[in-house]
Amino acid sequence: MQILDGKALSLKIKAKAKEDIKTLKAKGITPGLAVVVIGDDSASHTYVRMKEKACEEVGIYSIIHKMPDDISQDKILETIGMMNKNPNIDGILIQLPLPKHIDTTKVLQAVCEKKDVDGFHPFNVGKLVLNLDTFTPCTPLGVMKLLKAYKIEPKGLDVCIVGASNIVGKPMMNLLLNANASVDICHIYTKELKAHTKRADLLIVGVGRANLITKDMVKDGAIVIDIGINRLENGKLVGDVAYDEVSPKCSFITPVPGGVGPMTIAMLLENSIKAARSR
């Protein structure tokens, strides 16, 4: 069993990002990232602080728009419109989830597709489906980079993705289809989940349910990517995979923390640099 070390790989990506940004700055371009975070969700604010710190480390100018939970949708759209027009802002990120009174789809569609570093705009989603160059959602992109770094070729693999969200599951499916894998995607209405997971050469899980995947659900020698992150009552962070019992059966597995999480932030930096280059 080999651990897929996302933390170590993300440090290499950050080092390269730092050099890329130096090159851009020599041309008079400082990449700029704006983040909109609404309400007091502690997890959202933690993620935003991590993104802000990563930007600072590599030399990306970042600005955080903190808004109260009861802010109107019109005010959010007005702020996004302002950032769309700002030539110093290359990327715009809307921290999800949004409060229930806000139409998430409308807000995401308001972001200029050329500044959509999260890859959530329908324009970029469509390009991803067609296997065209675009902004790809950071977590699935991070998974693909991790597989590549460890010379894991998806072509011809039987893949099972557990979780069909627009943020992770669906773009992950499209990336793997584009890489010529055979993809099976499961969700809350899937019957007999074990029947799907047990067949997978590559099992990717991202639903936010601690220890959902147990050893009897995993094929011997499988590659397991755990995207979930959950905090137990004792404060411990765990994934969606029961790591201690599943890992001995795997050829490769990601830890939680230290697996996919650091890669997500590294991909945000890459997407922000990509946006800056298109100025």
Domain boundaries, the chain: 28-114, 138-261
Q: Is residue 95 flagged as an active site residue?
A: yes
What is the DSSP annotation of 163-230?
---TTTHHHHHHHHHHTT-EEEEE-TT-S-HHHHHTT-SEEEE-SS-TT-B-GGGS-TT-EEEE---E
**For every one of its 279 residues, what pLDDT tens digit does the chain have, with 9 covering 90 and above?**
999 999 999 999 999 999 999 999 999 999 999 999 998 887 788 888 999 999 999 999 999 999 999 999 999 999 999 999 999 999 999 999 999 999 999 999 999 999 999 999 999 999 999 999 999 999 999 999 999 999 999 999 999 999 999 999 999 999 999 999 999 999 999 999 999 999 999 999 999 999 999 999 999 999 999 999 988 888 888 999 999 999 999 999 999 999 999 999 999 999 999 999 998
Domain 28-114 shares a fold with domain 138-261: yes
Identify the pLDDT of residue 40.
85
For residue 262, CA distances in Å to 10, 27, 50, 176, 222 come to: 6, 29, 10, 21, 22
Candidates 5, 20, 90, 118; catalytic one:
118
Q: Give exposure, 218-238, as e/b (b: 16+ Cβ within 10 Å).
A: bbeebbbbbbbbbeeeeeeeb
User: Going by CATH, does the domain composed of 28-114 fall within 3.40.50.10860?
Assistant: yes
Candidates 5, 51, 116, 145; catalytic one:
51
Candidates 5, 20, 90, 95; catalytic one:
95
Q: Is residue 118 flagged as an active site residue?
A: yes
**CB neighbour list of residue 203: distance below 8 Å, 6 or more residues apart:** 159, 160, 162, 197, 213, 218, 219, 222, 223, 224, 225
Identify the CATH number of the domain defined by range 138-261.
3.40.50.720
